[in-house]
Amino acid sequence: MGEPGARRGVVLQLSRKSSTPGERGLPKLPVAEAEVTRRGVEGDYNVYRHDVAHDDPAMAVLIVPRETQEEFAREGWPVQPGDLGENITSRGIPYADFAPGRRFRIGTAVLEVTKPCTPCDNLFHLPYVGPDRGPEFLKVTLDRRGWYAKVVVEGRVRQGDPIVPTT
């Protein structure tokens, strides 16, 4: 159903990365579908979220609009879906619409946006960033890295599922 007049989007890409010794949690790799629980996307592992944030449920899922990644590309950074460590790359909903407290039905799951994701030096590992351009990329992604969300209703999410605002 959703809010009257609210913008709807779609899951352009659903991504995860399993725990692999010696590897970072990005880029995340595309999957066709996954179960989304209060701990996040099943099969996904994020070192920071696990080791530093102690699996904070407010950081269960990371969402980044593809339109924001396309802005980065126009600025000279060829960001692709999954590169920023996001679990859901959306299409059709502007970055600012993912404000804290907003809820979205995605597949059979309901997510509530909790806070913006702060850029970190793990982004230096992206092949088009590297240590020399890393600080510049952190500045570029500040306030555009993506949004963390908690899982209000667990469920199944598939690539192509609608993203429907509910509050």
The CATH number linked to 146 is: 2.40.33.20
Closest alpha carbon to 55 in 19, 80, 31, 90? 19
Reduce the DSSP state of residue 165 to 3 states and report it.
Answer: strand
Which residue carries 């629980």 as its tokens? 37
Q: Print the domain residue range for 127.
A: 9-165
**Average pLDDT rounded to a whole number, residues 52-68:** 91
Query: Is residue 91 included in any domain, yes or no?
Result: yes
Is the pLDDT at 104 greater than 70? The verdict is yes
Give domain status of residue 41, yes or no. Answer: yes
DSSP string, 110-161: EEEEEEEPPP-GGGGGSTTTHHHHHHHHHHHHTTTS-EEEEEEE-EEEETT-
Place of tokens 């352009």: 12
4 inside domain: no
95: in domain: yes
Read off the pLDDT of each residue in 59-77 and give the average, rounded to a whole number: 97
As separate numbers, helices (DSSP H) first and strands (DSSP E) second, the chain gives 3, 11
Sequence-ordered list of residues with C-beta below 8 angstroms from that of 1, at least 6 positions apart, any chain:
164, 166
Domain count, the chain: 1
| 3 within a domain of the structure (yes/no) | no
Is the pLDDT reported for residue 62 higher than 60?
Answer: yes
Question: What confidence tens digit (pLDDT) does each residue in 105-151 have?
Answer: 999 999 999 999 999 888 999 999 999 999 999 999 999 999 999 99
Q: Please give the share of the chain, as a percent, with pLDDT higher than 90.
A: 80
Mean pLDDT of the chain: 92
| Confidence band of 49 (pLDDT split at 50, 70, 90) | confident
Asked whether the predicted pLDDT for residue 2 surpasses 70, the reply is no
Sign, Cα dihedral of 47, 50, 53, 56: positive
Residue 34: Cβ-neighbour burial (10 angstroms; 0-12, 13-18, 19+): buried
Over residues 148-161, the pLDDT tens digits come to 999 999 999 999 99
Is 66 inside any structural domain? Answer: yes
